[in-house]
Amino acid sequence: MSNKVNFYKRPWFKLGLIPIVLGLIAAGVVVKVQPELGESFGNNIYNSGRDIKSFSYAVGRASHSVVNIYVSKLNHDYTGIDKNRGEITTSASGVIMSSNGYIVTNYHVIPSLNEPNHALWAQTSDGKLHQAFIVGFDRRTDIAILKINAHNLTPIEINNKYKPAVGDIVLAIGNPNNLGLTVTHGIISATARTGSGLLTRERMNIREGLQDLIQTDAPINSGNSGGALVNTNGDLVGINTAAIESSRFGTYGIGFAVPTALVVRVMNEIIQHGRVIRGYLGISDENDNLIADNSIKGVLVRYIDPLGPAAFSNIRIGDIVVAVDGKEIVNVRALIDVISKTKPGTQLVLTVDRNGHRIDAPVTVAEDRPYVN
């Protein structure tokens, strides 16, 4: 009589087989119930390799959420959108953020308060033209929120778990030079750019507000403003806002986008409050780092707004802000981040270095109300 035991009847084999079978069943159920997850998973695997042959999945996923934005100058006999839309003066791009018609674009493309008799239009991917109304805007981030009377729109996909990284492939989708839907691609060249030197309407220095710009070499041409920067999965990375090009200095391939997290935060505040509520201190600095013997890190106070909160505190020109409420401040970006997120009316204690001595200076934060033309 043989003493061999059937291999498939061994207890350890049965125990090892159970999790495998359960895993296959679970995967089958997920794909059956939500087949798009299987497609997305497969696409991510495909795009994670070095040999990416097509971005069609990302474009198909995001393009229906990108709209053409038009600004028209109305004729004096304008009586309605169906009779005369006026002469188109500006074309740009926008991104659908909700199914009920909220759209984000750039502040610098919308008519200013000094441009009466202008109207805004948004053309969706189905070719329909909708009159758009300004919900609000934020000059410091170059973001404007529009609303159209439409429903069942396709909002852009947002993946809160995605963190932009240098080297990530990105696609810029928009309406450059009024050509219609156009896609360009490149990589993320840098994150958390301060935007110093980027100018928009009224030659606004974006450094006043934009501190976390995404830099990309994806071509961003005139008309791409307000369009979507997406990753290879079609998730929104940011809103295209500016580009630096100079044939004189040989500068090409430098574009910038406002990151998604900032866009969403600004949009929600505008919808809720009609504006973005930020704290304001009333000091400025010309350099990000210190200064002097490099033994101290902080923000050198070079200017104090005579009507700002700092003017009524113990802060002096030449002081170095090294901490706020005990939190170390190493550069301008860190200080702006803390102050802008502080609710107006809150008292903070700024620790400054003055000629080698540490001094605590209480100051009550005001609301930042930038001048808008």
List, for residues 227-259, the tens digit of each pLDDT value. 999 999 999 999 998 776 544 445 566 889 999
288 carries an active-site annotation: no
CATH class of segment(s) 61-148: mainly beta
For the record, the structure tokens of 333 come out as: 């970006």
Average pLDDT, stretch 309-336?
Answer: 91
* Polymer length in residues for the chain: 373
Q: Which fold has domain 169-265?
A: Thrombin, subunit H (2.40.10)
Percent of the chain whose pLDDT exceeds 70: 71
How high is the mean pLDDT of the chain? 79
Active-site option among 72, 93, 130, 142: 142
Active-site option among 63, 72, 93, 225: 225
Grouping H, G, I as helix, E, B as strand and the rest as coil, residue 89 is strand
319 carries an active-site annotation: no
Measured in whole angstroms, the distance separating CA 113 from the mean position of its chain's CA atoms is: 24
Give the model confidence (pLDDT) of 150-207 as tens digits. 999 999 999 999 999 999 999 999 988 888 888 999 999 988 766 443 433 333 333 3
Is the dihedral angle over the CA atoms 54, 57, 58, 62 positive or is it negative? positive
Q: Is 139 exposed, middle or buried (0-12, 13-18, 19+ CB in 10 A)?
A: buried
At 45 the pLDDT is: 37
- Domain 279-367 in CATH 2.30.42.10? The answer is yes
40 carries an active-site annotation: no
Q: Which long-range contacts (CB under 8 A, 24 or more apart) does 14-17 make?
A: none
Encode 159-184: b = buried (16+ Cβ within 10 Å), e = exposed: eeeeebeeebbbbbbbbbeeeebbbb
At 185 the pLDDT is: 92
Active-site option among 91, 108, 212, 319: 108
In the chain, the amino acid numbered 52 is I
Give the model confidence (pLDDT) of 102-134 as tens digits. 999 999 888 876 667 888 999 999 999 999 999
Report, in this order, helix, strand and coil percent for the chain, each rounded to 5.
25, 35, 40
Q: pTM of whole model > 0.85?
A: no
* Higher per-residue pLDDT: 54 or 96: 96
* Least confident stretch, 6-10, 302-306, 342-346: 6-10
